[in-house]
Amino acid sequence: MTGDRKTMVVKIGSSTLVGPDRALRRDFIADLARQARELSELGWSLVVVSSGAIAAGAPVLGFEARPTDMPSLQACASVGQCVLSAVYDEEFRARDLLTSLVLLTRHDTARRTSYLHARDTLTRLVELGVVPIVNENDTVTVDEIRFGDNDTLAALVSCLVSADLCVTLSDIDGLYTANPMEDPAARFIPRVEKIDAAIIASAGDSSTSVGTGGMITKIRASRILMTAGIASVICSGAEDDALVRLARGESVGTLFVPPTGRLEIAPRKLWIALGDAAHGTVTVDAGAADALIRRGSSLLPVGITRVEGEFSAGDTLDVHDPDGLAIARGLAQAGSDELKLAAGRHQDEIASNRLLSALAGKPAIHRDELIVFA
C-alpha cells in the first residue's frame, strides 16, 4: 500500500449484480464506481470481488435458467465475463478510475509460489491506483479446483492485499439469530466478536437461484478474516452509500470484529487457511482441542478420535472439536491411512508398531503449519 491509504475489499454477489429480469444492473455498477471515487478521495483503495459472470452470460446465450451441465456453465462464464468486464471498465473509466481483471482458481493459490505471485500482482495494482476486479475463473474450473463461493475468494483476496476491511454486499442486510424470511422472531445482530456454534447455527441457506453462496459461507469467511485480524461487514447491496459510510466509520450491516491483542498471523499460515481446500478432516478430543486453542500446541495422534477423507502428507486438513466445530486447519504430516492407524495412540505405541514407526516423535500436524481460528 502507498502512504497511509487503507484498502477495502468489496464482494458483490450475483443476486446483487443481476436484477429480477436477469439483466446486468449497470445502475448498480455505476453507483459502485461513484463510491469508489469518493473512497479514493477519503484515502481508501478499493478491490472488487465480483460474482455474476455465469448469471450475466446465461441470458445472452439464450438460456432461460441457469444451466446445470459444466460445459454450458463454463460457456456462460466465458461470455458473461466479457459483458461484466466491459461494464465495469466503462463505468469506472467514466469516473477516471482504471480497472483490471484478475481471474483465479484454487490451482493458482494452492501452490505457495503461485499464491505469492498473486499477492504481489494485486498489491502492485493497488499501489498503481487500479481497481482490480477479481473473480473465480469459471471458464476453466472444475470441482477439484473451485473455491466454490466468492465469499471464500473475498477472504483470500483480503489477506493477499492486507485489507483493512472486507465488505460483503448481499441480498440481506446482515446476520440474524435465524433466517428472517422463515422466522418472524429473528433478531438482527449488529456486531459479532466471536463466531461460535450458536452463530454458525443461525446461518440459513441462500435465498436466490443465481448465486452459489449462503450465509454460512459468509460466516466462515468472516471467521478466517477475524483470525487474520481483518474486520468484515455483511450488509445489503441495496443500502445507500454503504461503502462510503463504512469508510467514514458509520455502522452498516453486521460488523465482525477481530479479537483485540491477537498476535499477527504469519503469512504462511494465512495461505494454509485459504490457499487450498481441505482434503480431509480430523476430529480431536476435548483435551487436544484445548491444547490447540489455549497453548498453541502441535496436534499429536493421541488426541485424534476420527479421521475422514483420503489425503497425503502435506495436504490441507480441517480440525474439528468433539462438537464438530472447525477450530483449526493445517498440513498433514502423514497420509490418511497412517493417521487412521495412529489415531488415539501414544508415542510409545507408535514407535513399537512397524507400520507406524516412521511417525514416531512426529505430530499429526505441526504447530508451525497449523492455524487456529478465532
User: Per residue of the chain (374 residues), what is the pLDDT tens digit?
Assistant: 445 899 999 999 888 998 888 889 999 999 999 999 999 999 999 999 998 898 899 999 999 888 989 889 889 999 999 999 999 999 999 999 999 999 998 778 888 899 999 999 999 999 999 999 999 886 665 544 345 578 989 999 999 999 999 999 988 899 998 888 888 888 999 999 998 888 888 775 444 434 444 788 899 899 999 999 999 999 999 999 999 999 999 999 999 999 875 556 788 898 998 888 899 999 999 999 999 999 999 999 999 999 999 999 999 999 999 999 999 999 999 999 999 999 999 999 999 988 888 888 899 999 999 999 97
Relative orientation angle of helices 267-274 and 150-160, to the nearest 10 degrees: 170
> Which cell numbers in the block locate residue 126?
493497488
Domains of the chain: 6-256 (3.40.1160.10), 278-372 (2.30.130.10)
HSE of 147, CA atoms in CB hemisphere, 13 A: 28
Sign of the Cα torsion 103, 109, 113, 119 reads: positive
- Look up residue 308 and give its three cell numbers: 475422514
* pLDDT at 146 (0 to 100): 46
pTM of the model: 0.87
